[in-house]
Structures are given as C-alpha cells and as structure tokens.
Amino acid sequence: MTNTILVTYASRAGSTKGVAEAIARTLENCGLDVDLQTMQDVQDVSGYAAVVAGSAIRFDKWLPEAMQFVERHQADLSQKPFAPFLVCLAMAVQGEQKRERAIVTASAYLNPVRELVPTVSEGLFAGVLDLSKLPAGYRIPFSVLTLTPFFKEGDYRDWNAIVQWARKLSTELAPERF
C-alpha cells in the first residue's frame, strides 16, 4: 500500500468536480500525495492509504454511480480512513436557522453511505445552479425552483469552507496516522 490519498467524485454538471479538484489541491498543498479520479475510472482502492469520495445530490441521494462505487469497494473502504462529501443546493440557503436545517437534511443524504462504510469526516457543500448545464429532464424542476426566493442561478460553493475542511482532513488522513 502507498501513502497516496484517492480523491474521487461523481458529478453531473461539473460543480462536484470543481469541489473535488479544490480538495485534492489543498491536500497536495498540505504535503500529501493525491490521486484525483472520477468514480467511474477507479478500478481498485486497495492500494490507497485513504479515500475521499464525493457526489452531487440528485433527488435527495448521492448519484447512482457514487453509491455503486461505495458498494463495489465496501470491503476495502471499511479498512481505511474514508471521508465522503456531498455537493447540493440545499446547503446554499441563507439565514442561521435555515442553514442549521439544511445541514441536518444534507447530512441525512449520507446515511446510505454511512450504513456501508464508517467515516472519519464528512463534507457538506453548496453547489452551482446553472440551468444551461443541466440535462433537459432536470431543467424544468430546477427552473420552477428559481421562481421561488430560495434558489437562483449562481455558484454557491464556499471555497473557504471547502479548503478549511480539506486542511482539517489532511491531518486526519496524514500517512503518519496509518
């Protein structure tokens, strides 16, 4: 086994990919060896010291290929530090009370992952709403959401929060800990 950390992701419109890239870059800046790949490209996780895995949220769930990744690699993931993250618009709400509810809601989206693999840390991040990047089937429901005061098109990713989580994660995943 190497000391390399796998950062892997499932993304539809690129928002989660951007978050994964920021996490990987931050871990590298903290002195860790990182391999960044889409979940579909990962064949084997046994050689990695730790895994950070993230998915966009669609219909209150990780993307199907993300859950398939965890199911396929469950045995190996259970034997190493595993840190999932998610990217969803629910995390973009404003106001302290709404934000607290959003955290509880978004955290519950990780329950199916937690049931399969223990986690050392979890990241909950807002995403991007760009209707032009969504498949036609998603555009209509999200277009309706933009008519409400809760969701408008835009990039809601909090890069500072993402980098802070990754920095904290770097100490939890440092090879000395293995």
Q: Which range among 47-56, 58-67, 136-145 shows the weakest confidence by mean pLDDT?
A: 136-145
Total count of residues recorded for the chain: 178
How far is Cα 56 from Cα 64, in angstroms, rounded to an integer? Answer: 10
CB half-sphere exposure, 114, CA atoms < 13 A: 10
DSSP string covering 61-78, please?
A: EE-HHHHHHHHHTHHHHT
Q: What is the dihedral of CA 160, 83, 123, 20, to 10 degrees?
A: 60
Q: Does residue 178 surpass a pLDDT of 60?
A: no
Task: For residue 93, tell me if it sits in a domain.
Answer: yes
Q: Does residue 149 surpass a pLDDT of 80?
A: no
Task: For residue 81, tell me if it sits in a domain.
Answer: yes
Task: For residue 92, tell me if it sits in a domain.
Answer: yes
Asked whether 88 and 109 are in contact (CB, 8 A), the reply is: yes
Using alpha carbons, select from 154, 147, 91 the residue that is nearest to residue 122.
91
Task: For residue 101, tell me if it sits in a domain.
Answer: yes
pLDDT band at 110 (very low <50, low <70, confident <90, very high): very high
Task: For residue 144, tell me if it sits in a domain.
Answer: no
**4-30: pLDDT as tens digits:** 999 999 998 789 999 999 999 999 999
Which CATH number goes with the domain that contains 32?
3.40.50.360
Tally of structural domains, the chain: 1
- On whether the pTM is more than 0.95, the answer is no
Mean pLDDT across the stretch 36-54? Answer: 97
Per the model's pLDDT, the better-predicted residue between 134 and 165 turns out to be: 165
Domain interval for residue 62: 5-128+156-177
Task: For residue 102, tell me if it sits in a domain.
Answer: yes
Neighbours of 141 (CB within 10 A): 10
**82: three-class secondary structure by DSSP:** strand
Task: For residue 150, tell me if it sits in a domain.
Answer: no
81: phi then psi, degrees, rounded to nearest 5: -60, 130
Per the model's pLDDT, the better-predicted residue between 130 and 88 turns out to be: 88
Task: For residue 140, tell me if it sits in a domain.
Answer: no
